[in-house]
């Protein structure tokens, strides 16, 4: 007995429609996207009763021939992709050829269209289940699509809809996104008879203001950056433009509005110190990536997009935003501190290890920390360094006084005192408070990245290699991640159940070789399934976190001062790689206010 039957086409269409058409808003989005794909420069949307009664979208785009019109409502009929390869380089908003067929399965549809220059156009009216037959009609420019009585034939779906008012709100939000995405196109929206929006083709920043209304041009900072085949353009709201909700956040990828929790988070994080908690920044950001490098074929509604290197996009975006905010003086930017003095090299009497040598122009601390495993002692100051009197450390005051004396008022984040893991520093705008742990994490992570970029896999050879016994699983894990382990700077030889550690990365201190190696082994098991770049990144975050624990044990003045100075050289100095703020600044103005 045969039990499997093929569904009648109109039923199959109705089921599939559930994916594409969830509510009137989805219809508007699909129709407007089609108009944009057809090259329209003017699009008018008229909605009645939240779209439940009717939705009409009129465009001045390319129009369709009779054959195309009849095909347009057939499932998987599309003019936008023809071959498998096209899927990897989608330039249009639509490509599945599903929208019109799905809409026609759950509503009455009327389409009037004509090709430019044709003597007359074509008109098609159909109810769910009808086969499409076009009739001649008067000529007009472009296409008009009307969708009536949505879900009248699927009462169960209609029940899920909200009030006409709410449905209209969804529609207008979607139209806002589309209008911001395409400032070169005129968008008009009517709610019944009432004109809700009419924006003429204009510059992108003006469009943002016109759509968001409460924003003025002077509230927007311009963002522009390109790196690694990624182009970023957009506008960032100043602190005063921030809102209590995320309604003012627009992200576009290759012209398509996207939801990306991680990218929105990247931007929000850059704003962390700029706006109060509970507020959300306003922004409109256009990302452009080579379509070959992103996969948009993920979700039927195409909101969610997959990148082939999301972490890199995240970092680049966050840094670009941070840079703009810093330039506008919204984030206290450590890199704007003045150089310490004229002479390029200077050494200061420091803590336990005698001297801190640093480049006065760049603020760079010249790391003279010896690797204890090699048995060397503190190296002498570098050639050209001006030696200050070699006084043993008696506390922060000395280092601080020295700085103040030296700098003739030049500003430096001089450490005043350290208490409970926080360093209190003098700052040009007031008082800067640094969380040492988070700062150490940031500094270590950046150094790990930099040094690995400069010389991946370089490790410091141990004079006395360390033998570590490992179990069978760890051995397998180690074998599997051989490349990663060596890139991270561990030089390891595996024999039977003994691993011989011959070399270690620069940041592992003497006596900690075995422990660090074991930590590495444990952590390796958590990076399964990532590509090498991401594995490295994840490992660096973990290693930096762990090392930071050691780094903050030492609260000697020179050590803390070095940490603070190192922090200011980090591009993302205000946040640790695991996302914690590293410092905050209490401005003089604020202190003034508080003490009034
Ligand atoms: P898709 O957009 O994924 O191709 P649709 O079902 O949305 O699928 O549309 C089917 C086809 O109908 C499109 O590929 C396009 O050729 C044509 N079409 C739809 N809307 C318009 C329009 N407003 N102007 C011109 N052609 C259109
Ligand atoms: Mg479409």
Q: What is the pLDDT of residues 276-302, one digit of tens each?
A: 778 899 999 999 887 666 655 445 455
The alpha carbon dihedral of 102, 103, 108, 114 has a sign of: negative
CA-nearest of 573, 493, 480, 474 to 535 is 480
- Residue 496 Cα to ligand 2 midpoint, Å, equals 61
* Residues whose Cβ atom is located within 5 A of ion ligand 2: 34, 94, 99
Question: What's residue 533's pLDDT?
Answer: 78
Q: Around Cβ 112, how many Cβ atoms within 10 Å?
A: 22
Query: If residue 367 lies in a helix (H) or strand (E), which one and from where to where?
Result: none
Tokens of 490: 């561990």
How far apart are the C-alpha atoms of 441 and 577, rounded to whole Å? 7
Tokens of 381: 């100051």
How far apart are the C-alpha atoms of 85 and 417, rounded to whole Å? 62
- Name the closest ligand to CA 95: 1
Question: What's residue 491's pLDDT?
Answer: 92
Q: Pocket around ligand 1: residues whose beta carbon is below 6 Å from it?
A: 30, 34-35, 38, 59, 61-64, 68, 72, 77-80, 94-101, 143
Is residue 357 a contact partner of residue 346, using CB atoms and an 8 Å limit?
yes
- Residue 107 Cα to ligand 2 midpoint, Å, equals 16
Atom of ligand 1 nearest to the CA of 77: 10
pLDDT per position as a tens digit, 527-561: 777 777 788 888 888 889 888 888 888 888 888 88
Question: What's residue 82's pLDDT?
Answer: 63
- Name the closest ligand to CA 76: 1
pLDDT along the chain (596 residues), means of 10: 71 70 94 95 96 97 94 81 61 77 94 91 94 88 96 86 89 94 95 93 95 88 88 93 88 86 88 82 91 56 62 85 83 39 35 37 38 29 30 35 38 78 86 92 89 78 85 83 88 87 86 87 81 82 87 83 86 82 86 86
Atom of ligand 1 nearest to the CA of 142: 24
How far apart are the C-alpha atoms of 387 and 407, rounded to whole Å? 16
Q: How far is CA 371 from CA 236, 436, 578, in A?
A: 45, 23, 27
CA-nearest of 197, 180, 326, 300 to 251 is 180
Tokens of 117: 């220059």
Question: What's residue 371's pLDDT?
Answer: 29
Left if phi > 0, otherwise alpha if psi is -120 to 50, otherwise beta: which for 355?
Answer: beta
Average pLDDT of the chain to the nearest whole number = 79
- Name the closest ligand to CA 115: 1
How far apart are the C-alpha atoms of 257 and 432, rounded to whole Å? 39
Strands (E), 60-185: 108-114, 121-126, 134-137, 142-148
How far apart are the C-alpha atoms of 240 and 221, rounded to whole Å? 12
Q: Give 97's contacts (C-beta < 8 A, 6+ positions apart).
A: 74, 75, 76, 77, 78, 80
Chain-centroid distance, C-alpha 308: 13
Half-sphere CA count of 446, side-chain side, radius 13 A: 18
Strands (E), 360-406: 365-366
- Residue 550 Cα to ligand 1 midpoint, Å, equals 61
Residue carrying structure tokens 């001045």:
60
Ligand 1 pocket, mutate which of 35, 37, 39 (most atoms under 8 A from CB): 37
Q: Which domains does the chain have, with CATH numbers?
A: 9-201 (3.30.565.10), 205-333 (3.30.230.10), 383-596 (3.30.1370.100)
């Amino acid at each position: 007995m045969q039990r499997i039957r093929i569904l009648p086409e109109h039923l199959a269409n109705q089921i599939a429609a559930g994916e594409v058409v969830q509510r009137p808003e989805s219809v508007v989005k699909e129709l407007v996207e089609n108009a944009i794909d057809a090259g329209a420069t003017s699009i008018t949307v008229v909605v009645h009763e939240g779209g439940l009664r009717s939705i009409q979208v009129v465009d001045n785009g390319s129009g369709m021939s009779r054959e195309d019109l009849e095909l347009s409502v057939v499932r998987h009929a599309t003019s936008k992709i023809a071959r498998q390869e096209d899927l990897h380089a989608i330039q249009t908003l639509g490509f599945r050829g599903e929208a019109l067929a799905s809409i026609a399965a759950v509503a009455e549809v009327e389409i009037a269209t004509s090709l430019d220059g044709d003597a007359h156009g074509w008109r098609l009216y159909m109810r769910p289940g009808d086969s499409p037959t076009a009739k001649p009609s008067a000529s007009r420019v472009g296409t008009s699509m009307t969708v009536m009585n949505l879900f009248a034939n699927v009462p169960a779906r209609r029940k899920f809809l909200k009030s006409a008012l709410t449905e209209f709100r969804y529609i207008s939000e979607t139209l806002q996104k589309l209008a911001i995405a395409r400032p070169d196109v005129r968008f008009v929206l009517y709610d019944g008879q009432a004109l809700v929006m009419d924006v003429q083709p204009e510059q992108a920043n003006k469009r943002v203001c016109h759509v968001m209304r409460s924003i003025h041009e002077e509230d927007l900072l311009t963002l522009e950056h390109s790196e690694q085949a990624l182009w970023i353009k957009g506008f960032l709201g100043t602190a005063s433009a921030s809102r209590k909700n995320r309604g003012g956040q627009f992200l576009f990828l290759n012209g398509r509005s996207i939801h990306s929790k991680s990218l929105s988070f990247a931007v929000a994080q850059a704003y962390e110190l700029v706006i109060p908690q509970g507020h959300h920044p306003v922004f409109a950001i256009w990302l452009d990536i080579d379509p070959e490098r992103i996969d948009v074929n993920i979700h039927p509604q195409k909101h969610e997009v997959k990148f082939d290197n999301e972490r890199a996009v995240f970092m680049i975006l966050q840094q670009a935003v941070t840079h703009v905010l810093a330039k506008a003086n919204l984030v206290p930017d450590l890199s704007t501190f003045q150089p310490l003095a004229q002479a390029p090299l200077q050494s200061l009497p420091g803590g336990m290890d005698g001297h801190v040598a640093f480049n006065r122009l760049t603020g760079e601390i010249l790391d003279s920390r010896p690797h204890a495993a090699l048995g060397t002692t503190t190296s002498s100051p570098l050639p050209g360094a001006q030696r200050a009197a070699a006084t043993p450390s008696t506390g922060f005051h000395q280092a601080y006084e020295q700085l103040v004396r030296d700098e003739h008022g030049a500003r430096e984040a001089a450490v005043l005192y350290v208490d409970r893991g926080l360093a209190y520093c003098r700052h040009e705008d007031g008082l800067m408070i640094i969380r040492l742990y988070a700062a150490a994490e940031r500094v270590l992570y950046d150094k790990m990245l930099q040094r690995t970029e400069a010389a991946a896999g370089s490790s410091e050879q141990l004079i006395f290699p360390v033998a570590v016994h490992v179990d069978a699983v760890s051995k397998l894990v180690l074998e599997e991640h051989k490349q990663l382990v060596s890139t991270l700077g561990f030089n390891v030889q595996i024999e039977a159940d003994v691993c011989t550690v011959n070399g270690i990365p620069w940041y592992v201190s003497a006596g900690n070789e075995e422990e660090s190696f074991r930590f590495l082994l444990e952590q390796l098991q958590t990076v399964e399934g990532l590509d090498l770049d991401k594995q490295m990144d994840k490992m660096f975050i973990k290693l930096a976190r762990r090392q930071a624990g050691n780094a903050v044990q030492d609260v000697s003045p020179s050590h803390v001062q070095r940490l603070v100075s190192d922090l200011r050289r980090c591009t993302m100095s205000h946040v640790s790689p695991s996302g914690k703020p590293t410092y905050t600044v209490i401005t003089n103005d604020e202190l003034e206010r508080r003490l009034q």
